[in-house]
């Protein structure tokens, strides 16, 4: 009933409230209403060609309900809240290509969680499929705010589950995340970090796996904007500085190809576009090159309008390679075998004018739409003969199977699963020629487990392309694999390091646990006999006393330790026996067992909202903390505090290799931190350096470090091979500025190619 008055409520109520305020605010209110209506109309225009009879009324209804429900709410930026659902709905149509149902759900996506609107009302008004989608969206956002890690992992599992149920839930969620990331400026810094990290951890890989390449790049760039502020600005600046030069180069490159394509009567568009900032940064980091040396700063894209898709794509390829030499290793044919997310295209890298490598992507218009809008575009082409959906359906089925597999440690499982279903993939074959898709990095053992658990359990090796290889052998695209088994073989804990798929990992863990249980049963027997001998009752209290004293996570672990003699039972003589009870010796300090609750307690002790920890160096008197060994922060670095379980507070750099995992999964344990001005304390840090091995290079380097900059050097190690050298220098500094100085000075030395700050892992 409440809905019938929604329109009137919304358009009159704010006005009456505003009447008592100043004239200026009335104007602002009028102005806002106009802007809201303008956004709504623009959404309708975007949706226009998809509207069937009656749809327009439903969309309007959804808009009115949302506008009314959120009427008193404002975003952090101060604008009326309704702008958010409107923007999400627009992304859903324009950038993901979904239709009316999804738009309605996008408009309503925050109503059930934040306002009086109920799922029941949505179901009555818009039907059950809308209600289901909104329910899915509500469930996801509810758990995101949770304080508990296991629940957070559970949330990620839920996100993936809803994906398998109705992919629209996750597509709208991605649109929601994209809009939040685009408008995050007025948020608190720690929230920005958490959201940005969650995005790199889960949403960007998901977007890629669903084929939303444009959105994936934007999400990654936006995350970088908040986690790697300096680098982001530097690369943005360099890209804009070199824009004219690049445009000139692209035009020169394109010209002969364009003419030749025209002579062949092909209908096409050709253009160059810069790679994303994130992908450029990734290259700089992993390939240890400078910005100037990232050879493929841009890709050329050719979009064909043709019904003769496969043939014309290859025709274009052959025309390009008539002009430019192509690199054989870098040809990717996703036209003959599309990726399992449906991506189709031909990628090649050719040597352009001036000896620069240029990546060329060849696609048809249909393939391009799939590349941009991913999953949604598939539905549009569902009646086509391409057979792509079946592959996508297979993938969704695969996710469902994995998720139904219960695992005691949800966090581990999500990590494995993430690698498994969100990473890149290879195509391999059984001896009969059946294709299996596995994540990149999969081994013979993964393949065995993928075929069947029993095959995996007894696997002793494999023949890959008729050659005998060990179980740890990493598979490559197009390998054909025959598994060799033995009845005597059984899994060991080493196996966990030899597999990457979630399925193999969880099966191996299961077997190991089974085995541990069998061994632990012996340990339990031994313990019972011993207790009997010293007249102590075998009770839960006794076991707890022992478990706590030896700090094992469970009784099973205790029994196991006894069975394999990592605890000797004669040690029990250290214990006091009181009556028939056992009491742990007092001489040794009893430590609390490591527990999640302990960390949360510590986190609670910190005044939470807006609290900022001031760092002085190794420790301060108020709160004790240590600097994380994985990224070794120094003053001047952008940092955050992280409450660990058992080791107190640790300070990490926001661009620490572990930061995104920590922030995304344990956001509630994050504490804002900044450096105090302090000159007395020095910090150990290091750089990686490489270049051309030359007589005297070491001399030159030490001259800069100890001579010119007068830095306190702790160690230096240099390896050289084939005329190149690579080394690590560890120095003490007081501030990041000194480290930056060192990098610049070293880089300017003749023969030095690249100097990069060291991440310890
Ligand atoms: Mn939202």
Quick check: 13 pLDDT over 70?
no
| Protein residues with C-beta less than 5 angstroms from the ion ligand 1 | 110, 176
Are 747 and 660 part of one and the same domain? no
- Residue 345 belongs to a domain: yes
Quick check: 580 pLDDT over 80?
yes
Six-digit token pair at 529? 């006999």
Greatest CA separation for the chain: 100
260 noted as active-site residue = no
Distance 63 CA to ligand 1 centre (A): 14
Q: Tell me which residue of 368, 313, 365 sits closest to 335, measured CA to CA.
A: 313
Mean of pLDDT values over 244-268: 92
Quick check: 388 pLDDT over 50?
no
Quick check: 2 pLDDT over 60?
no
Are 117 and 81 part of one and the same domain? yes
Quick check: 3 pLDDT over 50?
no
Distance 108 CA to ligand 1 centre (A): 9
Q: Any idea which of 367-371, 499-503, 630-634 has the lowest mean pLDDT?
A: 630-634
Give the 3-state DSSP-derived string for 284-348, with helices as H, strands as E and coil as C: HHHHCCCHHHCCCCEEEEEEECCCCHHHHHHHHHHHHHHHCCECHHHCEECCCCCCCCCCCCEEE
- Residue 474 belongs to a domain: no
pLDDT of the residue at 39: 93
Are residues 652 and 623 in contact, defined by beta-carbon separation less than 8 angstroms? Answer: no
Choose the catalytic residue: 55, 94, 113, 365.
113
φ, ψ of residue 119 in degrees (nearest 5): -60, -35
Are 316 and 383 part of one and the same domain? yes
Alpha helices in 381-535 (DSSP H): 388-404, 410-422, 444-451, 453-457, 502-533
Last residue of a domain, one of 178, 204, 228: 228
Per-residue confidence at 154, pLDDT binned at 50, 70, 90?
A: low
Distance 32 CA to ligand 1 centre (A): 20
Query: In degrees to the nearest 10, what's the CA dihedral of 565, 567, 568, 574?
Result: 180
- Residue 442 belongs to a domain: no
How distant, in Å, are the alpha carbons of 448, 454, 481 from that of 432? 14, 19, 10
Distance 225 CA to ligand 1 centre (A): 21
CATH number at residue 134: 1.10.3210.10
Per-residue confidence at 21, pLDDT binned at 50, 70, 90?
A: very low
Coil, helix or strand for 242?
A: coil
- Residue 537 belongs to a domain: yes
Q: Tell me which residue of 670, 679, 601, 596 sits closest to 634, measured CA to CA.
A: 679
Six-digit token pair at 345? 């295209």
Domain range for 537 is 510-583
Distance 147 CA to ligand 1 centre (A): 20
How distant, in Å, are the alpha carbons of 564, 620, 639, 716 from that of 685? 42, 20, 15, 12
Highest mean pLDDT range out of 322-331, 409-418, 737-746? 737-746
- Residue 123 belongs to a domain: yes
CATH number at residue 261: 3.30.460.10
Are 361 and 383 part of one and the same domain? yes
Are 195 and 62 part of one and the same domain? yes
- Residue 427 belongs to a domain: no
Last residue of a domain, one of 390, 425, 457: 390
Quick check: 585 pLDDT over 50?
yes
Query: Does residue 144 or residue 173 have the better pLDDT?
Result: 173
Distance 413 CA to ligand 1 centre (A): 27
Distance 169 CA to ligand 1 centre (A): 12
Query: Does residue 181 or residue 632 have the better pLDDT?
Result: 181
CB atoms within 10 A of CB 621: 6
Quick check: 456 pLDDT over 90?
yes
**pLDDT averaged over the chain?**
80
Quick check: 670 pLDDT over 60?
yes
Distance 125 CA to ligand 1 centre (A): 21
Q: Tell me which residue of 664, 586, 650, 582 sits closest to 613, measured CA to CA.
A: 650
Six-digit token pair at 708? 């010119």
Distance 714 CA to ligand 1 centre (A): 50
pLDDT of the residue at 295: 63
Distance 110 CA to ligand 1 centre (A): 5
Coil, helix or strand for 77?
A: coil
pLDDT of the residue at 142: 54
Distance 80 CA to ligand 1 centre (A): 13
Choose the catalytic residue: 32, 114, 214, 474.
114
Per-residue confidence at 270, pLDDT binned at 50, 70, 90?
A: very high
Are 110 and 255 part of one and the same domain? no
Mean of pLDDT values over 451-476: 90
Are 322 and 378 part of one and the same domain? yes
Distance 377 CA to ligand 1 centre (A): 24
114 noted as active-site residue = yes
Are 220 and 314 part of one and the same domain? no
Token pair 């009314």 is found at: 68
Q: Tell me which residue of 720, 723, 639 sits closest to 683, measured CA to CA.
A: 639
DSSP code string of 167-195: HHHHHHHHHHHHHHHHT-TTS-HHHHHHH
Give this prediction's pTM: 0.64
Are 66 and 122 part of one and the same domain? yes
pLDDT of the residue at 10: 42
- At a CB cut-off of 8 Å and minimum separation 6, what does 476 contact? 426
Are 199 and 337 part of one and the same domain? no
Query: Does residue 122 or residue 30 have the better pLDDT?
Result: 122
CA–CA separation, 734 and 728 (whole Å): 19
pLDDT of the residue at 272: 87
Last residue of a domain, one of 228, 251, 269: 228
- At a CB cut-off of 8 Å and minimum separation 6, what does 122 contact? 108, 111, 112, 130, 131, 134
Distance 84 CA to ligand 1 centre (A): 7
Quick check: 590 pLDDT over 50?
no
pLDDT of the residue at 191: 84
Are 558 and 607 part of one and the same domain? no
- At a CB cut-off of 8 Å and minimum separation 6, what does 391 contact? 338, 340, 342
Quick check: 143 pLDDT over 50?
no
Distance 56 CA to ligand 1 centre (A): 23
- Residue 154 belongs to a domain: yes
Please state the length of the chain. 761
pLDDT of the residue at 417: 65
Quick check: 179 pLDDT over 80?
yes
Sign, CA torsion 208/211/212/214: positive
Distance 175 CA to ligand 1 centre (A): 9
Are residues 481 and 462 in contact, defined by beta-carbon separation less than 8 angstroms? Answer: yes
Quick check: 497 pLDDT over 50?
yes
CA 36 and chain centroid, separation: 34
- Residue 279 belongs to a domain: yes
Tell me the chain's radius of gyration from C-alpha atoms: 30
CATH number at residue 714: 3.30.70.260
pLDDT of the residue at 600: 45
CA–CA separation, 313 and 306 (whole Å): 9
- At a CB cut-off of 8 Å and minimum separation 6, what does 228 contact? 281, 654, 655
pLDDT of the residue at 14: 40
The strand pairing partners of 730, in sequence order, are: 686, 715
Are residues 332 and 316 in contact, defined by beta-carbon separation less than 8 angstroms? Answer: no
Q: Tell me which residue of 531, 432, 539 sits closest to 480, measured CA to CA.
A: 432
Are 211 and 105 part of one and the same domain? yes
Query: Does residue 442 or residue 16 have the better pLDDT?
Result: 442
Q: Tally the domains of the chain.
A: 5
Q: Any idea which of 78-87, 175-184, 204-213 has the lowest mean pLDDT?
A: 204-213
């Amino acid at each position: 009933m409440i809905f019938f008055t929604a329109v009137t409520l919304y358009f009159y109520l704010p006005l009456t409230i505003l009447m008592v305020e100043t004239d200026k605010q009335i104007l602002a209110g009028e102005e806002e209403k106009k802007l809201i209506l303008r956004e709504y109309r623009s959404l309708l225009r975007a949706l226009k060609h998809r509207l069937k009879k009656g749809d327009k009324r439903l969309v309007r209804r959804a808009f009115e309900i949302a506008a009314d429900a959120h009427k008193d709410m404002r975003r952090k930026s101060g604008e009326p809240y309704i702008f958010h659902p409107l923007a999400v709905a627009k992304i859903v149509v324009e950038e993901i290509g979904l239709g009316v149902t999804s738009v309605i759900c996008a408009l309503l996506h925050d109503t059930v969680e934040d306002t009086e609107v109920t799922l029941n009302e949505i179901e009555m008004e818009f039907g059950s499929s809308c209600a289901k989608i909104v329910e899915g969206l509500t469930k996801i956002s509810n758990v995101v705010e949770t304080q508990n890690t296991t629940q957070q992992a559970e949330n990620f599992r839920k996100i993936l589950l809803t994906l398998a149920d109705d992919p629209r839930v996750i597509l709208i969620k991605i649109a929601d995340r994209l809009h939040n990331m685009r408008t995050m400026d007025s948020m608190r810094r720690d929230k920005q970090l958490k959201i940005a990290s969650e995005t790199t951890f889960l949403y960007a890989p998901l977007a890629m796996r669903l084929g939303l390449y444009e959105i994936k790049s934007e999400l990654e760039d936006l995350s970088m904007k908040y986690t790697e502020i300096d680098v982001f600005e530097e690369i943005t600046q360099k890209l804009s500085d070199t824009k004219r030069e690049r445009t000139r180069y692209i035009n020169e490159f394109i010209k002969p190809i364009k003419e030749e394509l025209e002579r062949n009567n092909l209908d096409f568009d050709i253009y160059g576009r810069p790679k994303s900032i994130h992908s450029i940064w990734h290259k700089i980091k992993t390939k240890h090159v400078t910005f100037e040396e990232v050879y493929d700063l841009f890709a050329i894209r050719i979009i064909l309008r043709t019904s003769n898709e496969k043939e014309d794509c290859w025709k274009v390829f052959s025309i390009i390679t008539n002009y430019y030499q192509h690199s054989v290793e870098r040809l990717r044919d996703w036209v003959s075998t599309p990726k399992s997310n449906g991506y189709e295209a031909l990628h090649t890298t050719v040597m352009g004018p001036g000896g620069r490598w240029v990546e060329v992507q060849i696609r048809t218009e249909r393939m391009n739409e799939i590349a941009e809008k991913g999953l949604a575009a598939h539905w549009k082409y569902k009646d086509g003969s391409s057979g792509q959906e079946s592959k996508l359906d297979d993938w969704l089925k695969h996710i469902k199977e994995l998720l139904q597999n219960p695992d005691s440690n949800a966090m581990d499982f999500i990590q494995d699963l993430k690698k498994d279903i969100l990473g890149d993939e290879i195509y391999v074959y059984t001896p009969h020629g059946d294709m299996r898709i596995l994540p990149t990095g999969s081994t013979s053992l993964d393949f065995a487990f993928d075929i069947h658990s029993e095959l995996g359990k007894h696997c002793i090796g494999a023949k890959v392309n008729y050659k005998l290889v060990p179980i740890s052998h990493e598979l490559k695209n197009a390998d054909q694999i025959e598994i060799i088994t033995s009845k005597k073989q059984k899994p060991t804990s080493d196996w966990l390091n030899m597999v990457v798929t979630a399925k193999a990992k969880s099966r191996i863990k299961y077997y190991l646990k089974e085995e541990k249980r069998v061994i632990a049963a012996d340990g339990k027997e031994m313990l019972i006999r011993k207790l009997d001998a010293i007249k102590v009752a075998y009770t839960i209290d006794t076991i707890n006393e022992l478990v706590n004293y030896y700090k094992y996570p469970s009784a099973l672990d205790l029994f196991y330790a006894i069975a394999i003699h990592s605890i000797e039972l004669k040690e029990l003589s250290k214990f006091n026996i009181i009556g028939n009870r056992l009491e742990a010796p007092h001489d040794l300090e009893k430590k609390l067992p490591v527990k999640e609750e302990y960390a949360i307690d510590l986190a609670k002790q910190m005044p939470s909202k807006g609290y900022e920890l001031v760092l002085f160096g190794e420790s301060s008197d108020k709160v004790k903390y240590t600097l994380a060994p994985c990224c070794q922060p120094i003053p001047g670095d952008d940092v955050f505090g992280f409450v660990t379980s058992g080791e107190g507070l640790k300070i990490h750099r926001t661009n620490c290799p572990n930061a995104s995992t920590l922030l995304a999964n344990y956001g509630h344990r994050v504490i804002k931190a900044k450096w105090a001005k302090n000159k007395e304390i020095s910090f150990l840090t290091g750089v990686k350096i490489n270049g051309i091995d030359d007589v005297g290079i070491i001399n030159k380097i030490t001259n800069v470090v100890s001579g010119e900059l007068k830095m306190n050097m702790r160690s230096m190690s240099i390896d050289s091979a084939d005329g190149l050298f690579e080394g690590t220098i560890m120095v003490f500094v007081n501030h990041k500025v000194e480290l930056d100085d060192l990098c610049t000075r070293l880089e300017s030395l003749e023969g030095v190619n690249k100097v990069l700050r060291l991440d310890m892992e």
